[in-house]
């Protein structure tokens, strides 16, 4: 599973999302909008932060911990 947080460098929320993913044991990468304009155009990203799983935007905001648990429980159950 490829998990990305796509955010601007000055976004204050992506750090919290990253910490929550760490607590859940979800490996992820942080991609900065400023460094990957092509990806952002491809996905239609206009706000920060975004959670992208396997190339699909799952959240266009900072989700709550319960929302993250729900999404990753379902993804892990899929295999």
Could you report the average pLDDT of every consecutive run of 10 residues in the chain (79 residues)? Answer: 95 95 95 93 93 95 93 82
Q: What is the structure's pLDDT at 4?
A: 97
Tallying the residues shown for the chain, one arrives at 79
pLDDT, position 78? 80
CATH class of the domain defined by 3-78 = alpha beta
Specify the pLDDT at position 79: 66
Strand partners, 59: 51
What residue segments make up the domains of the chain, in order of their start?
3-78
Alpha helices, DSSP H only, in 1-79? 14-24, 37-43, 65-78
* pLDDT for residue 46: 87
Residue 75 is predicted with a pLDDT of: 78
């Amino acid at each position: 599973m490829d998990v990305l947080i796509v955010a601007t460098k000055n976004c204050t929320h992506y750090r919290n999302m990253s910490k929550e993913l760490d607590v859940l044991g979800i490996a992820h990468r942080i991609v900065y909008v400023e460094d990957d304009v092509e990806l952002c155009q491809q996905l239609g990203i206009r706000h920060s932060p975004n959670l992208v799983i396997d190339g699909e935007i799952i959240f266009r905001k900072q989700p709550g911990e319960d929302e993250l648990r729900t999404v990753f429980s379902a993804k892990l159950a899929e295999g």
